[in-house]
């Protein structure tokens, strides 16, 4: 009950995620070396940086797909790293889209979308189907609703993955390199969907290598390297006037 | 050479009912042990995967691991002897038949192998599937039931059929205790007729035909499953 109340009070511009002193290692590899970050409702944040810099791990820590070793993560006012927290409840409010789509191959397009909302008691079967239809129309996949993922292209799979996450009516969307595994000609169709989503005011954190896209949609850009956020700022600050040497070096090497 | 062929024909004509009966028992034995493997092997796999831990030591998983490794690391014949001698010592209130002791040994053996079949079948499901399901808010149990297991079936089913085929051959070891399976029938017939080669060839042909067509069936099943 208390958690619900905390969420209801959050307005645009209020803090929705707070990360304090986040650290994570894989074996002897220290991937995150202390991240502090406040994400506000409605904000669109891009995380850029070279591979191995900890971007994906940072994102995956936000919904505890990776368990942090140190530090705290508050989501809608609740410390989700605390021991007695039911993380499944909070994950319902955090949609995630993966590099490799991870759509369920054994289910139809429609069932991919309706599974979680019906199973978790958010919607009846009929309501979930209606919503799936509406979401599929939004991303141009309605004709495919009875198809299986195997029959879809990469871009279509990723659009499906996006609406599958949206069907839970999340408060935040996390994108983990959503276009990295796509054929070049399919990148556009997925970016369009994300752009549309961002326009609706969805709080979004996106790890991406699409610099042009990051520049266009973000309110704030984080440049990560060596397990820390080296520099952050508006797209203009980061892309036009980077101050840190590592940021400059990284941006000089990528084409966009 | 002509003798052998004549003997083969007459042996089959006179004792075909025994061979068929033996095959029946062999199939029943294999079926029971694989069926037990399916039920208890699944439970064993759950134990093996259980995360219940006391100071980072996982007792359930450890016990299951020891069981599986010991069974897989010792000969089936030894296990048959073990249960053949052990069970009557422990269970004294009913008289256990030789057949029962062998069935228990075969089941215990099969459970270890099938639990590994389940485990690898589940492991073969892409980790991304679990992550996607969990990120939607599904619990680990819901993820297992609705996302992972339906996909694991595809990997597990052919492997279980192969385990059945293996068991058909392995049960021949139980003939040591003369429990009426196909290999026991060989010993019976060979004793009656004072013939060694001919009944052996007949038994061999029967084993081969059964396992050959079953494994063809499994290949067909595998193909079907990869298409869907």
A96 → chain B, closest CA residue = B135
Query: Cβ contacts (< 8 Å) between B139 and chain A: which residues?
Result: 88
At residue B228 the predicted structure's pLDDT band, cuts being 50, 70 and 90, is low
* Local structure of residue B206 (DSSP, 8 states): H
Query: Cβ contacts (< 8 Å) between A118 and chain B: which residues?
Result: none
Q: How far is CA A220 from CA A21, A232, B29, in A?
A: 20, 7, 68
Q: For residue range A178-225, what is the model confidence (pLDDT) as tens digits?
A: 999 999 999 999 999 999 999 999 999 999 999 999 999 999 999 999
Q: For residue range B158-190, what is the model confidence (pLDDT) as tens digits?
A: 999 999 999 999 999 999 999 999 999 999 999
- Determine whether the interchain pair A119/B146 forms a contact, defined as Cβ–Cβ distance below 8 Å: yes
Residues in Cβ contact with A129 at an 8 Å cutoff, skipping those fewer than 6 apart: A110, A114
Cβ of residue A96 closer than 8 Å to a chain B Cβ:
yes
Q: What is the pLDDT of residue A5?
A: 43
> Which residue of A86, A88, A114, A164 is the best one to mutate when testing the B interface, meaning the one whose CB has the most B CBs within 10 A?
A88
Q: Could you tell me which of B72, B56, B55 has the C-alpha nearest to residue B64?
A: B72
Give A39's Cβ-side CA count (13 Å radius).
Answer: 28
Distance (Å) from the alpha carbon of A172 to chain B's nearest alpha carbon: 12
Cβ of residue B135 closer than 8 Å to a chain A Cβ:
yes
This prediction's pTM = 0.83
User: Is 0.85 exceeded by the ipTM?
Assistant: yes
What is the CATH number assigned to the segment(s) B2-227?
1.10.3720.10
Distance, in Å, from the CA atom of B98 to the CA atom of B107, rounded to the nearest integer, reads: 14
Cβ of residue B145 closer than 8 Å to a chain A Cβ:
no
- Determine whether the interchain pair A65/B147 forms a contact, defined as Cβ–Cβ distance below 8 Å: no
Distance (Å) from the alpha carbon of B144 to chain A's nearest alpha carbon: 13
- Determine whether the interchain pair B132/A89 forms a contact, defined as Cβ–Cβ distance below 8 Å: no
Instruction: Please list the ranges in chain A whose pLDDT falls under 50.
Output: 1-6
């Amino acid at each position: 009950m208390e958690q619900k109340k905390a969420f209801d009070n959050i307005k645009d511009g209020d803090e929705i995620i707070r990360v304090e002193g986040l650290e994570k290692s894989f074996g002897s590899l220290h991937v995150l070396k202390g991240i502090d970050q406040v994400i506000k409702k409605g904000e669109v944040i891009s995380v850029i940086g070279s591979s191995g810099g900890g971007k994906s791990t940072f994102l995956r820590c936000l919904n505890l797909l990776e368990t942090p070793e140190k530090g705290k993560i508050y989501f809608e006012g609740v410390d989700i790293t605390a021991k007695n927290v039911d993380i499944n409840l909070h994950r319902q409010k955090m949609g995630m889209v993966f590099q490799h789509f991870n759509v369920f191959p054994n289910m139809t397009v429609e069932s991919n979308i309706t599974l979680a909302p019906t199973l978790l008691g958010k919607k009846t079967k009929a309501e979930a189907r209606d919503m799936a239809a509406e979401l599929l129309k939004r991303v141009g996949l309605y004709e495919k609703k009875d198809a299986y993922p195997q029959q879809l292209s990469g871009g279509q799979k990723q659009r499906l993955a996006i609406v599958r996450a949206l069907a839970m009516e999340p408060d935040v969307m996390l994108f983990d390199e959503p276009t990295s595994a796509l054929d070049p000609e399919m990148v556009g169709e997925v970016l369009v969907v994300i752009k549309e989503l961002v326009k609706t005011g969805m709080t979004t954190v996106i790890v991406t290598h699409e610099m042009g896209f990051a520049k266009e949609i973000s309110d704030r850009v984080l440049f990560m390297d060596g397990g820390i956020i080296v520099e952050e700022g508006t797209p203009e600050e980061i892309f036009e006037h980077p101050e840190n040497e590592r940021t400059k070096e990284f941006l000089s090497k990528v084409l966009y | 050479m002509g003798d052998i062929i004549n003997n083969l024909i007459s042996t089959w004509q006179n004792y075909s009912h025994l061979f068929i009966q033996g095959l029946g028992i062999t199939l029943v034995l294999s079926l029971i042990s694989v069926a037990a493997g399916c039920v208890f092997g699944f439970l064993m796999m759950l134990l093996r995967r259980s995360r219940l831990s006391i100071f980072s030591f996982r007792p359930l998983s450890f016990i299951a691991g020891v069981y599986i490794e010991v069974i897989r690391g010792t000969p089936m014949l030894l296990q048959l002897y073990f249960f053949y001698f052990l069970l009557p010592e422990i269970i004294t209130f009913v008289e256990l038949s030789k057949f029962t002791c062998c069935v228990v040994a075969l089941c215990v053996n099969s459970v270890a192998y099938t639990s590994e079949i389940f485990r690898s079948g589940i492991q073969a499901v892409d980790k991304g599937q679990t992550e996607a399901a969990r990120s939607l808010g599904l619990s680990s149990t819901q993820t297992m039931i609705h996302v992972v297991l339906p996909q694991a079936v595809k990997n597990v089913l052919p492997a279980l059929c192969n385990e059945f085929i293996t068991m058909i051959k392995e049960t021949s070891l139980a003939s040591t205790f003369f429990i009426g399976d196909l290999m026991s029938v060989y010993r019976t017939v060979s004793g009656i007729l004072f013939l060694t080669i001919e009944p052996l060839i007949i038994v061999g042909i029967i084993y081969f035909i059964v396992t050959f067509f079953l494994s063809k069936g499994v290949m067909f099943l595998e193909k079907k499953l990869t298409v869907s």
